[in-house]
Structure 1
Amino acid sequence: MKIIGIAQRYFEGGREAEFFQLAQEGHYFINLWAAHMLIEYGKPTPELQAKVLDIIKFHSATYCTPGNTVNRVVAQPEDQWLDDYYKRKNPVSCN
């Protein structure tokens, strides 16, 4: 079974908070993978969504806390993902 399939089984059961426990593991970017799966496939509560976005921002160059040392190879796609995410959530209207 693919990783996304495993995540979806958690989410189908409304177990996003349980799945979030994986986001506590920082090795091998497990926390980042878990964060993306939660926000893209799950239905996190607003509080959990804020925590998940904080994890993604931590790995971003543009959105991270000043002074945070980021992996530039990871930071660039995370910056783009966050830009796209915020555009989807707050689309600009020309009217």
Structure 2
Amino acid sequence: MPPVCRAEFALPPAPGGSAAAGPVVTGHRPLICRGCSGHLYAVRTTDHAGGNAAGQWEVDHEVPAPMCPLEDLLPLTGTAVSVHDLPGALEVLGPAC
């Protein structure tokens, strides 16, 4: 069975707080929701069999955002090389901070 990798994108530790759970992937800006400016998490699972670079993604709010006008578009899910290539990413993912 080919190896399956899982990468989690998490926020850096909050001021005065502990480190975020799971591995923090560096070199990436936090993902921001265009609807409510809340932070989003992204999880990617990849099967590297045959050199496959695409992964299965899930993107959603870090904390529930019931008043977000884009609530019906989340979670974003699908297969893509980059989180920005997911269907609906242009509508949901905000500009870099």
Which TM-score tier does this pair reach, normalised by the shorter chain?
under 0.3
So what's the TM-score if we normalise by structure 1? 0.24
Question: What's the TM-score, normalizing by structure 2?
Answer: 0.24
| Higher fraction of helix | 1
